Structure 1
Amino acid sequence: MANNDKIQRGALPIPDLAYTGTVTYDATDPDTHYPPIERLLPPEGAPNVLVVLIDDTGFGASSAFGGPVQTPNFERVAAAGLKYTRFHTTALCSPTRAALLSGRNHHTVGMGGITEIATSAPGYNSLRPNSCAPLAETLKLNGYNTSQFGKCHEVPAWQASAVGPFDGWPSPGNGFEHFYGFLGGETNQWYPAIYENTSPVEPWGTPEEGYHFMADMTDKAIDWTRQQKSLAPDKPFFTYFAPGATHAPHHVPKEWADKYKGKFDQGWDEVRKETFARQLALGVVPADAVLTERSPGIPSWDEMSDVIKPALARQMEVYAGFLSYADHYVGKLLDAYEELGILDDTLVYVIIGDNGASAEGSMHGTTNEGFTINHMNEIESEEYVAAHIDDIGTPNSYNHYAVGWAHAMDTPYQWTKQVASHWGGTRNGTIVSWPNGGVEQGGIRNQFSHVIDVAPTVLAAAGIPEPTTVNGVTQRPYEGTPMNYTFGADAAEADEQHTTQYFEMLGNRAIFHKGWTAVAKHKDPWLASSHGLDDDVWELYNVDEDWTQSNDLAAEEPERLAHLQQLFLIQAARFNVLPLDIRSAERMNPDIAGRPALITAQSQKLYRGMRRLSENSSINIKNKSFTVTAKVEVPEGGANGVIVAQGGAYGGWSVYGVGGKLAFAYNLLGIQLDIVRSDAPVPAGTTELRAHFDYDGGGLAKGGTVTLFADGARIGEGRVEKTIPFQFTFDETTDVGVDLASPVSTDYAAKGNEFTGTLDWVRIDLGDDDHSHLIDDEHKLAVAMLKQ
């Protein structure tokens, strides 16, 4: 590697310096001399960097931290490095990712919540300021190759379409030269919505053919790494590897779930006790730690009915299999590094969760999250869940486990994801290794650390300074603390350097300062806000003596509590946390919230080749009448295949040809499929096909009458008995000329359903009978929160 240590790296891009020597007339003149061109490389000794961020996994899940789920590859990294027992996230997905990749607090970079509830306030607008250049950009401009695989969920909602802008996308806006993954908060692991850089791409196969996104993204990461080391072996890389695991839907091959058969029949209360005993034995909690009581509102295992207990146990078996499956593929990536001879020269972070375990799956879990987001929980009774036990985790489900399991996966702490006030929402087991970088092997570190510490740690390891300017913009300093001081064999007792940290999410808030925390939980994850901020009850914990926040000292030390409450307000003002925002209705209305909306018209025209349009970038046809018109040419012998489809097998609608006839299908959450077909085949040469849905009215989710037309002539009519009121799916899309991913209708398969005629355009026109004003605003917020 060239010695670039004298390069001035404070201003990025590094300026091109003009040649100031002698210029000759003839290149053969002996005085002709120019310095050789040198490739830009980081300082000598800069490591490769791999950051693995697992999704929705609590402190008490992985066996590396005493959990019941076997994760031998996480333990493999721990054996080569250090376990961090007091590493913290933000309690929510998008904010943690934005903080990780910027080195600043999540409100500083505009990510006070998820992108779907952005407001115009600086701490909540989901727009990273250009004064906070991301880590990947800094590394790239210092000579690193950069790549991201897996989940993003940082793109502002109104920018997540094929026309951008791409400032907030992983590539090019967030500094990654290569991106392969999905944009939203979750994706169907069997039928994912994948982007490569800024272009949608399709999976190589179906579930029946062996496809799963976890395996696919790992193969892509391995291929990228091999190519990078083949073509530029002396150039280090930064790879951000962020699986969809273990966010819902918990999709995993059956054999992986079956490894845990019978392992959770004892229920979540006993699993918490068993996990805590292992944590004590491992030393990831101190000997005097206390197992906290079950958080209020979460039922005990004994309170659950015998009807549903087998399905509840299966939910956890599937979740455990999913985490083990993710661990297996992290291991495959590490194996590839080892084969390339680069593992010991790689700084590896394995952050086991971007927040605590998710309590968004209802008290008895769900086989399809669509029931919850569409207020159709009455369909999914305990008997329904029990009857569909064999679907959990398979392509026939869109499943999530019960709240009790989420709490058990956060052992030994109180609360879960979304609850930034307590460690159950924010404390995530983290492992760091770098054998050739002086990181102790097999140790434990108890110093306080936070996700904003990762970026400054990476720069310190690489010998790269924080930039003062990037692209001409003066930079805000990193707000994290480098963790490098904890790496050495003699650093276990080093004084912690990250001594103050605020937490805030949805009104749940806390302040950590020099061994104490003051915390105020505003709302439960499964409930809406029900009172004002000033009515919140603050608790006080001495976390140096009370590891798990089990002994509230607020009544005993009111002066200390008041001091910490004041400190929280100072930090909140400093880092754009104010104004605290617990609103629901206002944040769901783009006009009031002050954010753009991508689609506002009453009509949308789509052209051939337009595919993978997210629900956010498609006109909303729910709770109203609408008409779908297509300009086509039907060949001799008739046309088959999809003209336009939205959604998939778990909910959506489709207009298509079958047996030469025109058809309209409406899929109600995978439990009911209404199909209306024309009375006779569509004549050859037809230039306009139309399907009109006449909404019954009288409220939300009502049915309607479908009428089919060819060149203005009525050719068929039928009924759709009930419709989806809020959201078709989490990640399936609107596609013109084909139905990608899982199929809406059973009339065609997941592959080979392209329209066989000539298709020019499709237009969707809305009626004037919109009933969406009847949607409860609190439920709108709940739907948005389920997306992260």
Structure 2
Amino acid sequence: MRGAGFDAYDLQRALQEAGAQPSGVGLRVRKDDMTAAQHPDSIRRDILPIPDVAHVGLTTYDAKDPETSYPPIRDVRPPATAPNVVVILIDDVGFGASSAFGGPCQTPNFEKLASGGLRYNRFHTTALCSPTRQALLTGRNHHSVGMGNITEAATAAPGYTSVLPNTKAPLALALKLNGYSTAQFGKCHEVPAWQTSPAGPFTAWPTGGGGFEYFYGFIGGENNQWDPALYEGTTPIEPPKTPAEGYHLTEDLADKAINWVRQQKALLPDKPFFMYFAPGATHAPHQVPQEWIDKYKGKFAHGWDSQREITFERQKKLGVIPPDAVLTPRDPEIPAWDDMDPALKPALEREMEVYAAFMEHTDHHVGRLLDAIEPVLDDTLVYLIVGDNGASAEGTLQGAYNEMANFNGMADIETPEFLMSKLDEFGGEGSYGHYAVGWAWAMDAPYQWTKQVASHWGGTRNGTIVHWPNGIADKGGHRNQFSHVIDFAPTVLEAAGIPAPTFVNGVMQSPIEGTSMLYSFNDADAPERHETQYFEMFCNRGIYHKGWSAVTKHRTPWAMGGQEMPAFDDDVWELYDGNTDWTQAVDLSKKYPDKLHELQRLWLIEAVKHNVLPLDDRQIERFNPTLAGRPSLIKGNSQLLFGGMGRLSENSVLDIKNKSFAVTAQVEVPSSGAEGVIIAQGGRFGGWSLYTKDGCAKFHYNVLGIKSFDIEASEPIPAGAAQVRMEFDYDGGGMGRGGTLTLYYDGTEVGSGRVDQTQGVVFSADETTDVGYESGTTVSPDYTAHTSRFTGKIDWVRIDLGEDAEDADHYIEPDERFRIAMARQ
């Protein structure tokens, strides 16, 4: 050891020699071995937080002594040449959707940004939202950071836990600790499902361990654009205005982002910022103001087969695919437009009109954000990634007015007649819609397949625009080097002159797995450096290596459950030569079997290296915490809630679906009677509510916003302290069945009735459970969110399942309530 010269490099070497660390893990070069770009200033930035250096020198007795001297206090700042960084991630967009890449959805602001920057035509994602986002924010492959699937399907296997290892600190944290201002706006779908309640922990939230100083957005996969469940930091808040007053989530997010960046530059003009803008558009539900929908009326009457051909020709003229590219054919699993029921086609057209409008509306608000940063745009590195995966084929073969129907295995409830009856309501407040599979396939032109299918480019290739006037000389150029979402983080670090950290909060970091794209910014012909990349999602698998790709599709996206999976060894692999075949159109597996075997072996090597194994094609089982092996916030058969608790996600509340259950509430009713919600779960598009109307208890079960069932008490709740109870006796015999519901006051029956059908899998992707009021949209039309507050007092509400529901004998004694509550701790 070299005394004063001893640094992190020496420490790591010493640890290796002592056997404390495997050789090659987390190594960084010494300061004097770094290039100027890697280490342009005298501050040690590879250990974060940057260690404080104590003053060494003469300490005087009197501050007025001429020899009194201390260096001035300076806040941490990145290297002087570090740019601002904005990454904009659009949701569920295929390569062939945006007009910037030849699609039918008009995106003039995307095109404007591309004209001043670069289009990356071979940039790839992971084929699904949560994995892409975690990979983007860490620079590591999605299985390496535990995000092999969405958070709700996490398992105990290392590649699928949804828990970010502390050895892989996110980019935002590294930038913040190097002196950047950081903020995230929009969607965050990386929080483990059992950590999404108001009780936290918040270590995986953007402002917790995510490295963002400010967050405004939502937690989860999707949200109602008209009435979202929002958070500021970790605090739940309500939207600033109503849909009737012109509210839309994308506009709100843009407003907040604009205000934040203006304030940041006004108060800290010398401090660069890192902004992550992920609006959640154009993920379902497809919801957008009517005037935007009207712009596309009649523009998709030609259908999805013709649309792909139109897009294909535009892409060639635009130069985002080569002139000799081949348009891949439609798979037999996807119906032809001409084979669709003519009576249904107006609804199918409207679905696509709404989606295109949604995309253009999103482009408009992204344009507003870019206009706001115009004064500093020259010194801002902007990444616009047009899709976190391919277009979504989760909307069934005919599309959906309420996509929750498909997620509950109840797509048949939306008949063609029903869809046609809702023609003028698609995209509005009453809809929660999605387009048909055929449109998703068309939006992925010229490639095969869609979102979830990581084997083929239709699921993973997303057009990307990079703009940085001070760092990119070529304006309007195209870049064809292979790149991946894990390349974003190392690109930012290199552009900022900041090394990848060796230690963060005392924990040694694993190497970043992405490859900086900076080499290609000013050299269109530079040999690509990201030569090998594996893909896996839902056991759809692929490997890219030096132009070649080997792929196999294992599962179909729109088959949500009950699909019989083939054995992994029976999956059929295809082989494509990307050096001559841009679109994976010509399968060479039979012509070059040795090449296929070579790539299959390489996939297996990469899979082992990055925690892809074991492959897991379970379906419903993955959503059961016990079977999946992940923690569950709620344990046992009873849950005690209190008045005022709210914004509880479905993962935070006992699952009452497909079983008998009871809900008991201890309330105090004023002499004038009580009105309002006692407890409600879900919202306009599915859920249940126990509330009072005209002083009487009432239960409302809402099936997908299509059917509803009401049971009302025959008399008002008596004034004073009272116990209101409902018991649901499930019929059994499968999922989504009905049952008999009975209402009680203080153990005495006051009403009963039938609920003929229920939702068997999920009530909502964004609506929550509230006690004493209902946030968001409301389960019952008898009240609004503003009139839903219970006018009496709610002491507690208890949900019971199984024997705990049956043993109460219609009334819960106080001692029994606390005994069960304590027993479940």
TM-score, L = length of structure 1: 0.95
Q: Which stretch has the larger CA shift, 230-239 or 573-582? A: 573-582
Match of 1:504 among 509, 515, 536: 536
State the distance in 2 between where 1:131 and 1:161 align: 25
Could you say which residue in structure 1 is the equivalent of 2:421? 387
For the residue of structure 2 that corresponds to 1:502, the secondary structure is: strand
State the distance in 2 between where 1:193 and 1:767 align: 31
Could you say which residue in structure 2 is the equivalent of 1:701? 736
Deviation at 1:436, TM superposition (A): 1.8
State the distance in 1 between where 2:779 and 2:291 align: 27
Deviation at 1:376, TM superposition (A): 1.9
Asked if 1 retains the 8 angstrom alpha-carbon contact of 2:713 and 2:743, the reply is yes
Could you say which residue in structure 2 is the equivalent of 1:554? 589
Asked if 2 retains the 8 angstrom alpha-carbon contact of 1:48 and 1:238, the reply is yes
Deviation at 1:28, TM superposition (A): 2.1
Deviation at 1:175, TM superposition (A): 0.8
State the distance in 2 between where 1:707 and 1:601 align: 23
Q: Which stretch has the larger CA shift, 518-527 or 678-687? A: 678-687
Deviation at 1:586, TM superposition (A): 4.7
Asked if 1 retains the 8 angstrom alpha-carbon contact of 2:686 and 2:779, the reply is yes
Q: Structure 1: which 5+ runs fail to align?
A: 771-788
Could you say which residue in structure 1 is the equivalent of 2:19? none
Deviation at 1:621, TM superposition (A): 1.3
Q: Which stretch has the larger CA shift, 668-677 or 79-88? A: 668-677
Could you say which residue in structure 1 is the equivalent of 2:409? 375
Could you say which residue in structure 2 is the equivalent of 1:759? 794
Q: Which stretch has the larger CA shift, 253-262 or 157-166? A: 157-166
Deviation at 1:529, TM superposition (A): 5.2
Q: Deviations over 1:451-487 (max 9, x none)?
A: 0000000011111111111111111111111111111
Asked if 2 retains the 8 angstrom alpha-carbon contact of 1:64 and 1:74, the reply is yes
Deviation at 1:768, TM superposition (A): 4.1
Question: 1:12-27 alignment to 2 at 5 Å?
Answer: 12-27=48-63
State the distance in 2 between where 1:119 and 1:448 align: 31
- Return closer, same or farther for 1:272/1:697 CA change in 2, 3 Å cut-off: same
Asked if 1 retains the 8 angstrom alpha-carbon contact of 2:46 and 2:502, the reply is yes
For the residue of structure 2 that corresponds to 1:679, the secondary structure is: strand
Could you say which residue in structure 1 is the equivalent of 2:450? 416
Asked if 2 retains the 8 angstrom alpha-carbon contact of 1:503 and 1:509, the reply is yes
**2:794 maps to amino acid:** L
1:604 aligns with 2:636: no
Q: Deviations over 1:42-91 (max 9, x none)?
A: 10021111100001100000000000000011111101100000000011
**1:518 maps to amino acid:** A
Match of 1:433 among 467, 470, 485: 467
1:350 aligns with 2:384: yes
Match of 1:44 among 64, 69, 80: 80
1:530 aligns with 2:562: no
Match of 1:94 among 115, 121, 130: 130
Quick one: percent identity of the two aligned structures? Answer: 63
**1:353 maps to amino acid:** G
1:683 aligns with 2:715: no
Deviation at 1:745, TM superposition (A): 0.9
Question: 1:105-116 alignment to 2 at 5 Å?
Answer: 105-116=141-152
Question: 1:366-765 alignment to 2 at 5 Å?
Answer: 366-488=400-522, 491-527=523-559, 528=563, 530-584=565-619, 586-765=621-800
Asked if 2 retains the 8 angstrom alpha-carbon contact of 1:686 and 1:711, the reply is no
Asked if 2 retains the 8 angstrom alpha-carbon contact of 1:82 and 1:439, the reply is no
For the residue of structure 2 that corresponds to 1:687, the secondary structure is: strand
Could you say which residue in structure 2 is the equivalent of 1:781? none
Asked if 1 retains the 8 angstrom alpha-carbon contact of 2:130 and 2:189, the reply is yes
How many equivalent residue pairs?
765
Could you say which residue in structure 2 is the equivalent of 1:72? 108
Q: Structure 2: which 5+ runs fail to align?
A: 1-38, 806-825
Deviation at 1:280, TM superposition (A): 0.5
Asked if 2 retains the 8 angstrom alpha-carbon contact of 1:641 and 1:755, the reply is yes
Deviation at 1:26, TM superposition (A): 2.0
Asked if 2 retains the 8 angstrom alpha-carbon contact of 1:697 and 1:769, the reply is no
State the distance in 2 between where 1:189 and 1:493 align: 42
For the residue of structure 1 that corresponds to 2:715, the secondary structure is: coil
State the distance in 1 between where 2:282 and 2:84 align: 26
Asked if 1 retains the 8 angstrom alpha-carbon contact of 2:40 and 2:497, the reply is no
Asked if 1 retains the 8 angstrom alpha-carbon contact of 2:396 and 2:411, the reply is no
The two structures, once aligned, show a CA RMSD in angstroms of 1.7
Question: 1:183-262 alignment to 2 at 5 Å?
Answer: 183-262=219-298
Match of 1:360 among 394, 397, 416: 394
State the distance in 2 between where 1:94 and 1:313 align: 30
For the residue of structure 2 that corresponds to 1:343, the secondary structure is: helix
Could you say which residue in structure 2 is the equivalent of 1:336? 372
1:130 aligns with 2:166: yes
State the distance in 2 between where 1:272 and 1:700 align: 39
State the distance in 1 between where 2:297 and 2:465 align: 28
For the residue of structure 2 that corresponds to 1:517, the secondary structure is: strand
**2:546 maps to amino acid:** K
Asked if 2 retains the 8 angstrom alpha-carbon contact of 1:625 and 1:769, the reply is no
State the distance in 2 between where 1:683 and 1:593 align: 46
Asked if 2 retains the 8 angstrom alpha-carbon contact of 1:529 and 1:582, the reply is no
State the distance in 2 between where 1:575 and 1:698 align: 42
Asked if 2 retains the 8 angstrom alpha-carbon contact of 1:83 and 1:445, the reply is yes
Q: Which stretch has the larger CA shift, 674-683 or 638-647? A: 674-683
State the distance in 2 between where 1:589 and 1:739 align: 27
Could you say which residue in structure 1 is the equivalent of 2:310? 274
**2:535 maps to amino acid:** F
